[in-house]
Structure 1
Amino acid sequence: MPEQSDTHDLVRLLHRTLPDTLLGIYLHGSATLGGLRPHSDIDVLAVVRESVTQAQRRALVEELLKVSGVDGRRYVELIVVVQGDVRPWRYPPTCDFLYGDWLREEYERGVIPRPGPSPDLAPLLTMVLRADAPLHGPPPAELIDPVPHADLRRAIVAGVPELMDEVDSDTRNVLLTLARIWTTLVTGDIRSKDAAASWVLGRLPAEHRPVLARARAVYLGEEGECWDGLGTRACAEFLVRGIAESYAS
């Protein structure tokens, strides 16, 4: 379980902001896949009865900007879905609201997120259902449908080009996410990033192992973020080839 104060504050914020439409609040991500690591966000999905209003969107952004990653707190990733957009299931699913600190500059300029299609919801909803970790409301299976395995596979592969655009700016996260995609395609499991990296390390040629090993060690807080002299892009490209071959098979 992540820091109690952080999750309690987030639950209170959602109740206060979405009092008439909130159906359930669920943990997923690192908190439910072996425990939070030094760089882990607190990942939360909220399921609502109807779309979040513009005023509610603005209130959520304003409040989350004050606490996410501030004064030693963990960063928060909050996703809100309308139940009718994910049950019955269809692809791609719609994300009704997203807060993530990688978008902080946009939020601070007054950009408020709007609903839109989001293939990334397929693995997220799968994690929510498997974790079964409600912070409020019934078990998630009472509100959302399971994601067909074929849709899970195509959803995780859909994000690979965007990840490759960020190899140089978000190296650790990109490498670990690619490792997790490859692991999921082969095993059918969604594992923690460090567990996925461990699985992939045994399948890498010797020249790429130090790169992914560094990413895993940084994620676990064992090493600092330093990529000098390491072939990060070459490693990422090898991971992408493994993903492509596994998806094709």
Structure 2
Amino acid sequence: MPAPGTQHLLPLLHRTLPDTVLGIYLHGSATLGGLRPHSDIDVLAVVREPATHAQRRFLVQELLKVSGGAARPVELIVVVQDEVRPWRFPPTRDFLYGEWLRDEYERGVVPGPEPSPDLAPLLTMVLLADAPLYGPPPADVLDPVPHEDLRRAIVAGVPELVAELDTDTRNVLLTLARIWTTLATGAVRAKDAAADWVLPRLPAEHRPVLAHARAVYRGDEAERWDDTLAPGVRPCAGFLVRAIEDQAAKGSA
């Protein structure tokens, strides 16, 4: 039986990319402690050859119909096996669909291949999760990511992440917490579990902001960044960024 939220995705991939799909893998929140109210369905497809422009356009058109709204949002990444095995950095992503890009897709943008350092943590999570929806275990089609490449990929993405703080506050704060946690412990944790690790290490004045982000992620509170919390968002993010920089400079614990 398909995992919840993927019942449309597997047939769509097989129909769109016939004879080229090697494996389809669940990762993210669904495999790191369970889906939360705001969680995406995170799926990686590994294929033999690049998709055509027409195939990518069709994937976008169909995903716009089944992702988001009343349904779980889908994040789908497609990689060509030869681009990630043997492993090299930065790897290349063949296709990306994510709801945060919906406006671009609706304007007709079709995502194509591009270098993607973010594949380092993503493939690490796929291998750790070991949750095939189709095909063999992920270790049969993917190489492990060297720890140093994982570290430099997650650190390199921090400036771009922080640039989205005002528009995606909860996710940015929790992702910064996860980056610090991964650098310090070597473990890739769910976002709320990362916040659990970080909160005792935060100065008291920053804890309410991260605690609220965690509570919203878990579905325990409604999302609100009002006059009480909003002034503390940027200082909290700044502290997390400095902690990440310090941890990256000294290496893992």
TM-score grouping bracket, smaller chain normalisation: over 0.9
Task: Kindly indicate whether residue 57 of structure 2 is the aligned counterpart of residue 58 of structure 1.
Answer: yes
- How far apart are residue 167 of structure 1 and its match? 1.0
Partners of 1:65 and 1:104 within 8 A in 2 = yes
1:242 aligns with 2:233: no
Residue 8 of structure 1 deviates from its aligned partner by: 2.1
Match of 2:88 in 1: 90
> CA deviation digits over 1:87-138, x for unaligned, max 9?
0000001000000011111111111001000010000000000100000000
TM superposition shift of 1:168 = 1.1
8 A Cα contact 1:79 1:98, kept in partner: yes
Q: Counterpart of 1:96 in structure 2: which amino acid?
A: D
Partner of 2:37: 38
> Given that residues 2 and 133 in structure 2 are in contact (C-alpha distance below 8 angstroms), is that contact kept between their aligned partners in structure 1?
no
| Deviation at residue 47 of structure 1 after TM alignment | 0.1
2:144 matches 1:146: yes
Q: 1:152 to 1:189 in 2, by over 3 A?
A: same
Partner of 2:134: 136
Give the 3-state SS of the residue equivalent to 1:223 in structure 2: coil
Q: Could you list the per-position Cα deviations for residues 143-176 of structure 1 after superposition, in whole angstroms to 9, with x for gaps in the alignment?
A: 0100000000000011100111111111000000
Structure 1 residue aligned with 2:67:
68
3-state SS of the aligned residue for 2:117? coil
Residue in structure 2 matched with residue 28 of structure 1 by the alignment = 27
Find out whether 1:184 has 2:185 as its counterpart. no
Structure 1 range deviating more: 6-15 or 20-29: 6-15
Paired with 1:7 and 1:68, the residues of 2 have a C-alpha distance of: 10
Q: Secondary structure at the match of 1:207?
A: helix
Q: Normalization by structure 2: what TM-score?
A: 0.96
- Shift, 1:225, TM fit: 1.1
**1:68-92 deviation line (CA, Å, top 9, x unaligned):** 013x210000000000000000000
Secondary structure of 1:26's match? strand
C-alpha deviation, 1:3, in angstroms: 5.3
CA gap of 1:248–1:2, structure 2 versus 1, over 3 A, is farther
| Aligned pairs for 1:84-123 within 5 A | 84-123=82-121
Partner amino acid, structure 1, of 2:27 = H
Identity of aligned residues (%): 77
Runs of at least 5 residues in structure 2 that lack an aligned partner in the other structure: none
| RMSD between aligned residues | 1.1
Contact residue 162 and residue 172 of structure 2 kept, 8 A: yes
Residue correspondence of structure 1 range 223-242 to structure 2 within 5 A: 223-228=221-226, 229-230=228-229, 231-242=232-243
Distance 1:198 1:30 in 2: 15
Question: Which consecutive segments of 4 or more residues in structure 1 shift more than 6 A?
Answer: none
Report the count of equivalent residues: 247
Question: Residues of 2 paired with 1:125 and 1:58: CA distance?
Answer: 24
Partner Cα separation in structure 2 for residue 208 and residue 3 of structure 1: 37
The normalised TM-score by structure 1 is 0.97
1:2–1:31: 8 Å Cα contact kept in structure 2? no
